[in-house]
Amino acid sequence: MSLDFLVTSLIVFGSLLHTSAFAFLPQFVSADEPHPLARMFELSTVFMLLTFDVFVGYWALRRSIRTRVISRPRVLTWMRRAFAGAFVALGARLALADR
């Protein structure tokens, strides 16, 4: 099973199971709507399609950046140093924080 297949599967299931749409969308359905369930289905379908589109964009961006970063060892080294420095800074900030 390829990594692309797994990422695509996660994108699809993440879009379909996005529960925030069901908590967020009812405010856009009027109380006097003749078919509120159909309107909710329409709005949630649009929301899921837009979410899917964004996830596909993230996937494509990740794929293009990944090939550029992995092919350059110096970039990987500096990324590791940057993440390590960020964790050290966050740890120091946490250690010095007032309780």
Per-residue pLDDT at 63:
83
Cβ contacts of 51 within 8 Å, gap of 6 or more: 14, 15, 18, 21
Domain boundaries, the chain: 3-72
Distances in Å between the Cα of 68 and the Cα atoms of 15, 27, 54, 76, 90 are 28, 44, 21, 10, 28
% of residues, the chain, pLDDT over 90: 21
Per-residue pLDDT at 17:
62
The pTM for the full model equals 0.51
Q: Tens of pLDDT along 48-96?
A: 788 888 888 888 888 888 888 888 889 889 999 999 999 999 999 999 9
**Residue count (the chain):** 99
Mean pLDDT in residue range 1-27:
65
Return the higher-pLDDT residue of 29 and 88.
88
Q: Is the CB of residue 16 less than 8 Å from the CB of residue 48? A: yes
Q: Which tokens is 34 given?
A: 């003749």
Per-residue pLDDT at 62:
86
Per-residue pLDDT at 69:
83
